[in-house]
Structure 1
Amino acid sequence: MENVKDTFKEVASAILPVTIVVIILQVALIRLPLEALLQFLIGVAFVSIGFFLFLLGVTAGLLPVGEMIGKKLPKTKKSWLIIGTGFLLGIAVTVAEPDVRVLATQIDEVSGGTISSNILILSVAFGLAIFVALAMVRTIFRIPIHYMLIGGYILVFLISMLVPEAFVAISFDAGGVTTGPMAVPFILALGVGVASVLRNGSSDSEGFGLIGLASIGPVLAVMILGVLFK
């Protein structure tokens, strides 16, 4: 019951400010037709209900399961299994990520089908998956995260010089949309779970930084796609 109350408060704090600002703008400035305002309010109600149910599902299912998987994998003492699982989960959560699908659909429409949504989704998924796997490598072998972040972004900026300008913009948006409501809870819980076991619970914070590292993958993947489309 306490979880339900906390989730309700979280949804209210996220949705109410936007709703209040739009209503103030409506009264003071923009004067949208009444039909448009009603559509907005109905949309707010649907989003609130959906967001509430989603957050309950994340708390009850995604986070615990992700962390349990992360804690079980190191006990197999098979590095390849931990890395491979990170790769597969990276693909799965990216394909399921609604933010990625929105971006892919928009790019498909703007490009007139030249860059199809399926190609973009797969590119982003493989990019994220590779870097989730690298994040698992970093946790297993205790590689300082700043080495991998610096190396990753140096590579990003070098490749950006070879890529059409439109793809540079798309690539950074792709990196952003992968940090959405499906990918973040599951991957972060996985990383914390793996780190807590490999560090014997002494440094669970080692599991953090995984999302920042993983988001480099989609940026690089879309840039490489841009080189191929050049």
Structure 2
Amino acid sequence: MDNIKETVLEVILSIVPITIVITILQFTLIWLPMETFIQFLIGVGMVSVGLILFLLGVNVGLLPVGEMIGSALSKTKKVWMIVFFGFLLGVVVTIAEPDVRVLSSQVDAVSSGAIPKSILIIAVALGVGIFVALALVRIIFSINIIYILAIGYGMIFTLAAFTPSIFVPISFDSGGVTTGPLTVPFILALGVGVASVMKGKSASSDGFGLVALASIGPILSVLILGVIYG
């Protein structure tokens, strides 16, 4: 019950400020047709209910399952299995991420189909999957995250020099949308689950950093897509 109250309060505090700002703009500057403004208010209500149910689902289902999967994989003591299923889970959870679908639809519309929606989703998902797997390798072998971040961003800036300019902002937005409400909780829970079981690992330090690494993958994959399409 407390979890439900906290979730409802969290959503209200997130939605109310933007609703107030748009309402003020409506009656001072923009003066949208009343029908459109009413549709906005209805949309706010639907988004609020959807977010409450979504966040409850994440807390009740995704987080515990992510931690249990990470723990179960670690107990097998098979590196290939941990890495493979980390990659697979990274791909499928990204495909299910609402933010990724919004971005792909916008890019498809703006580019008039030059950058197909399905291709962009697959590229982003593969990028996340590869770097989630790499992040799990980092946890297993205690690799310093700074080295991976430095190499990753070095590759990003190098590829950016050879990619058509239109793909550069899209690639960084792709990295941003993978830090959405579905991907982040699951990936973090997976990392914490892996780190909590393995000897010599700390869930509070080794279990984090997966999202930072996972966001590099989509940037690189979309930049590579730019080189191919360019």
Instruction: Give, in whole Å, the separation in 1 of the partners of 2:28 and 2:166.
Output: 37
Instruction: Give CA-to-partner distance per residue, 1:85-112, whole Å, 9 cap, x none.
Output: 1100011011111111111111112222
Q: Which amino acid aligns with 1:131?
A: F
State how 1:80-91 maps to structure 2 within 5 Å. 80-91=80-91
Q: State the percentage of identical aligned residues.
A: 61
1:22 paired residue number? 22
Superposed CA offset, 1:41-76 (max 9, x none): 000000000000000000000001001111111110
1:203 Cα shift? Answer: 4.3
State how far apart, in whole Å, the 2-side matches of 1:176 and 1:85 are. 23
Q: Distance in 2 between matches of 1:110 and 1:203?
A: 42
1:131-150 aligned within 5 A: 131-150=131-150
- Residues 110-154 of structure 1: per-residue CA shift (max 9 Å, x gap): 222121101111111111100000000000000011110111001
* TM-score normalised by structure 1 residue count: 0.97
What corresponds to 1:73 in structure 2?
73
What are the ranges of 5 or more consecutive residues in structure 1 without an aligned counterpart? none
Moved more, 186-195 or 106-115: 106-115
Which amino acid in structure 1 is aligned with residue 80 of structure 2? W
1:4-19 correspondence runs (5 A)? 4-19=4-19
- Structure 1 runs (4+) deviating above 2 angstroms are 199-205
Residues matched between the structures, number: 230
Give the Å deviation of 1:185: 0.8
Where do 5+ consecutive residues of structure 2 fail to align? Answer: none
TM-score (norm 2): 0.97
Q: Distance in 2 between matches of 1:46 and 1:94?
A: 24
1:109 equivalent in structure 2: 109
Tell me which amino acid in the other structure corresponds to 1:129.
G
